Amino acid sequence: MTKRVLEDPAKRAMLLTALYVAQEQYGYLSHEALQRVADRLNMDPVQAYETATFYSMYRTEPVGRYVLQVCEGLSCHLAGGAEGLADYLQQVLCIHPGETTPDGLFTLQTVQCLASCGTSPAMRVNDTLHENLTTDSVDMILQELRGG
């Protein structure tokens, strides 16, 4: 039943979904991954690339195992704590936004709005959204991700 919900009659229209699947398998959208997607959907690789580079959730470069995305939107900023959270993560992980830790575990990014304006500060870790964060809860999340 789940499969039926995701299916779509037009082939090109499957591209966004196919890119997600490829990204999941390859970790990021490498040339090889884009070529596979294009072959499956019967299009030129450049068409897949063109679409992939438009959307911020597709990555054409490798990232760490966990991508930490901190919201720096206006509401988060006013409520306080958003900058604090980004600064804190920079300190603890010793990386700047856009960088990955040398062990390949964490990539830090700042993003615009996660629709968590009522529950900020907020951070997304891969597929999971964390809200109302404090430095303590961030520590716990990092510890868990490190397998500690």
Partner 1 sequence: MYEPILLRRVDLPRSETIGVYLANGGYRALEKALHEYRPQELVDLVKRSKLRGRGGAGFPAGLKWSFMPQDDVRKYLCVNTDEGEPGTFKDRVLVERDPHQVIEGAIIAAYAVGATRAYVYIRGEFFLGVKRWIKAIADAYEHHYLGQNILGSGFSLDMTVHRGAGAYICGEETAMIESLEGRRGEPRLKPPFPAQKGYLKEPTLVHNVETLANVPHIVLNGAEWYASIGTERSAGPKLFCISGHVYRRGVFELPLGTPLREIIYDHAGGVPGDRRIKAVIPGGASTPFLTAGQLDVPMDFEALVAAGSALGTGAIVVIGEGTCMVDVTRRTARFFAHESCGKCTPCRVGAMRILDLLENIEAGRGEPGDVQRLSSLCDGIVGHTFCPLGDALVAPIRSSLALFADEFEQHIKYGRCCAAA
Choose which of 46, 78, 94, 140 interacts with partner 1 (CB under 8 A): 78
- Binding of partner 1 by 124 (CB under 8 A): yes
Site residue total, partner 1 (CB under 8 A): 43
Q: Which residue, 63 or 117, is less far from partner 1 as judged by CB? A: 117
- Binding of partner 1 by 94 (CB under 8 A): no
Burial code (b: 16+ CB inside 10 Å, e: under 16) for 102-118 equals eeeebbbbbbeebebee
> Cβ distance 65 to 125 under 8 Å?
no
> Cβ distance 118 to 71 under 8 Å?
no
- Residues facing residue 70 across a β-bridge: 110, 123
Q: Which residue, 44 or 139, is less far from partner 1 as judged by CB? A: 44
Residue 82 CB neighbour total at 10 angstroms = 23
Q: Is 112 helix (H, G, I), strand (E, B) or coil?
A: coil
- Residues facing residue 125 across a β-bridge: 68, 128
- Binding of partner 1 by 60 (CB under 8 A): no
Choose which of 24, 25, 54, 148 interacts with partner 1 (CB under 8 A): 54
The token duo for 20 is: 């997600």
Q: Provide the minimum distance between the beta carbon of 11 and partner 1 in the complex, in angstroms, as a whole number.
A: 8
Residue 48 CB neighbour total at 10 angstroms = 25
Q: Which residue, 134 or 139, is less far from partner 1 as judged by CB? A: 134
Q: Which residue, 90 or 119, is less far from partner 1 as judged by CB? A: 119
- Binding of partner 1 by 66 (CB under 8 A): no
Interface residues with partner 1 (CB under 8 A) are 1-2, 4-8, 10, 12-17, 19-20, 50-51, 54-58, 72-75, 77-79, 112-120, 124, 127-129
